[in-house]
Amino acid sequence: MRAAWRRREAIEGYLFLAPAVLIIGAFHVWPALYVFYMSLFRWDILQGAFLGFRNYEHLLQDADFLRSLLLTLVYALGTVPLEMAAGLAVALVLHQRLRFRGLFRLLYFLPYVTSQVAVALVWGWVFNPSYGAANGLLASLGLAPQHWLLEPGGIFAPDAPPSLALAAIMIVTVWYYLGFHAVVFLSGLAAIPGDLVEAARIDGASGLKLFRHVTFPLLSPTTYFLLLIATIGAMTSFNLIYVMGGGGQSFGCAGNPLGTTQVAALFVFDRFWCQTELGYASAAAFVLGLLILALSALNGRLFGRRTVYVG
């Protein structure tokens, strides 16, 4: 009797899981497998000869692809920590008892619910070298105007990333995602038990000590989640970079000034859509997916065990 009840319970559980499994399989697992299949062929408009792993061998020798991976890592390292730090700072302020706190939360979150294409177009106008507001601000301060999105030179060294063009896009990225990080950190702050905070204050902790020894450790699940999500998002970022980089209107199909903003996602797009090298682009996309998977596993190894959960 008990065995039959357990089988029935297991069947019911699998039936509840079936819709999610089907959706994940249809829209995630199957496309990934098919991309890997395509990467094994010379695939232009139509499927061509079987190449095995020669597309992957070519990728390892392709300076453009390796540079796109480097730019992707630079982009991620330059945006994710700033997004999280600024989001946490805003969340700590908005967690206080302020007047119009709800309005401020809405204003900070508003950019995140705006279309990335619309945001990129507006900021493209701001960074326009001829009539943009950014150069207007520099002129009011007595500083020389910049080419911004048309400037391929590096901000630290002439040939070293990030270029000024990529740095400008990184600024917009941080601004765009700040509200999302702030809202998620606010939910994490609200979940911290008030009695633990009060006990720490009774023991003499306050200000920076309270944040360092109580608040921040208890925010570790939220921090770990945001780090994982933000890293994946940065490694696959496309819309803001593509549109602000020109969107194919001025700098070719992939929309990047002299290649200084061609991150890995734009490289895949360029080879797939612009040059119709579908097999080669599939190999690049698969390698990028493996890199993201490795970084996610590394995040879990380094930070997952340090996460503190309060029951």
Domains defined for the chain, CATH in brackets: 56-304 (1.10.3720.10)
On whether the pTM is more than 0.85, the answer is yes
The residue written with tokens 């204050």 in the block is 201
Report whether pLDDT(125) > 80.
yes
Measuring CA to CA, which residue among 274, 226, 241 is closest to residue 72?
241
Q: What is the pLDDT of residues 71-101, one digit of tens each?
A: 999 999 999 999 999 999 999 988 887 777 7
- Residue 174: what residue type? V
Question: In this predicted structure, what is the pLDDT of residue 254?
Answer: 56
C-alpha 84, offset from chain centre = 11
Q: What is the pLDDT of residues 22-61, one digit of tens each?
A: 999 999 899 999 999 999 999 888 888 999 999 999 999 9
Local confidence band at 249 (pLDDT 50, 70, 90 cut-offs): very low
Cα dihedral 104→108→114→119 (10° resolution) = 130
Name the DSSP class of 179: H
Report whether pLDDT(12) > 60.
yes
d(CA 120, CA 250): 15
d(CA 288, CA 154): 24
